[in-house]
């Protein structure tokens, strides 16, 4: 158990029912492993100097140290994880801060409609604000009762169980709120902007 993990685990593995018949999205195969997929390896992050920043179309720009971020209200959820390359891992137990918590604290502007996540390895990924402001989108720092391992995006990563996993930035360092849409790292290189696994939205 991490010190912040509560006993209550919310089960989100029935989320698929809003999108399709089957829990396993079409064209995916289930794995019990948790493979690592990174564009350029695991960056080294000093937990003492790490900062999580929120900026753009907000009332209040925010900066958190890792310790301060881990003191925010958190939840633990059981979620499935779908990689666009074809594997899915069921029943991941993630602990973290809900996206909605950050929206509340930053006071997102009325005209903010898009989000760009920034990461320590130069990765970015974009989503509409409405696709982020929902249960299941977490800034995750705990996995299966332990700290999220560095290879999987520790100290903090985003998880997006309703989207292919490239929408979840590992080593997230910031969230930028935008009034106009933009494309992230893989979205600019041909992966789908919308990334719904049950519609097999793999390529743009
Ligand atoms: N910062 C960052 N986040 C990232 C990536 C990356 O290269 N850099 N890869 C994405 C891709 S393509 C996938 S499938 C998942 C993989 O997460 P995992 O390595 O924990 O399985 O992270 C996503 N988030
Ligand atoms: Mo991926």
Instruction: Please count the other Cβ atoms lying within 10 Å of the Cβ belonging to residue 126.
Output: 21
pTM above 0.95, yes or no: yes
Q: Which residues contact 158 (CB under 8 A, 6 or more apart)?
A: 99, 117, 125, 137, 138, 139, 140, 167, 168, 169, 170, 172
pLDDT tens sequence for the chain (204 residues): 455 555 699 999 999 999 999 999 999 999 999 999 999 999 999 999 999 999 999 999 999 999 999 999 999 999 999 999 999 999 999 999 999 999 999 999 999 999 999 999 999 999 999 999 999 999 999 999 999 999 999 999 999 999 999 999 999 999 999 999 999 999 999 999 999 999 999 999
| pLDDT for 1 | 46
Q: Which CATH superfamily is domain 51-199 in?
A: Oxidoreductase, molybdopterin-binding domain (3.90.420.10)
CA atoms lying within 13 Å on the CB side of residue 53: 11
Nearest bound ligand to the CA of residue 172: 1
Question: Does any ligand 1 atom lie closer than 6 A to the CB of residue 119?
Answer: yes
Q: How far is CA 142 from the centre of its chain?
A: 12
Task: Tell me the three-class secondary structure of 92-103, residue by residue.
Answer: EEEEEEEHHHHH
Q: How far is CA 157 from the centre of its chain?
A: 6
Nearest bound ligand to the CA of residue 160: 1
Cα 122 to ligand 2 centroid, rounded to whole Å: 16
Cα 37 to ligand 2 centroid, rounded to whole Å: 6
Question: Does any ligand 1 atom lie closer than 6 A to the CB of residue 86?
Answer: no
Neighbours of ion ligand 2 (CB under 5 A): 37, 83-84, 166
Contact between residue 165 and residue 83 where contact means Cβ atoms under 8 Å apart: yes
* CA gap 133, 101 in Å, rounded: 9
Cα 170 to ligand 1 centroid, rounded to whole Å: 6
The two three-digit tokens of residue 200, written as one number: 């097999």
């Amino acid at each position: 158990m991490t010190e912040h993990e509560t006993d209550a685990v919310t089960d989100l593995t029935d989320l698929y029912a809003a999108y399709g018949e089957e829990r396993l999205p079409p064209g995916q195969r289930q794995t019990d492993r948790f493979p690592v997929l990174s564009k350029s390896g695991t960056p080294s992050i000093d937990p003492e100097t790490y900062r999580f920043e929120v900026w753009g179309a907000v009332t209040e720009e925010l900066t958190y140290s890792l310790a301060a971020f881990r003191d925010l209200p958190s939840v633990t959820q059981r979620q499935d994880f779908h990689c666009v390359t074809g594997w899915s891992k069921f029943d991941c137990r993630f602990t973290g801060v809900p996206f909605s918590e950050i929206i509340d604290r930053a006071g997102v502007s009325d005209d903010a409609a898009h989000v760009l996540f920034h990461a320590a390895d130069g990765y970015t990924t974009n989503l509409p604000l409405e696709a982020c402001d929902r249960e299941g989108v977490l800034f995750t720092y705990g996995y299966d009762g332990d700290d999220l391992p560095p290879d999987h995006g520790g100290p903090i990563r985003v998880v997006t169980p309703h989207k292919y996993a490239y929408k979840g930035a590992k080593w997230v360092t910031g969230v930028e709120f935008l009034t106009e849409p933009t494309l992230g790292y893989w979205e600019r290189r041909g992966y789908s902007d919308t990334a719904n696994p049950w519609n097999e939205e793999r390529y743009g």
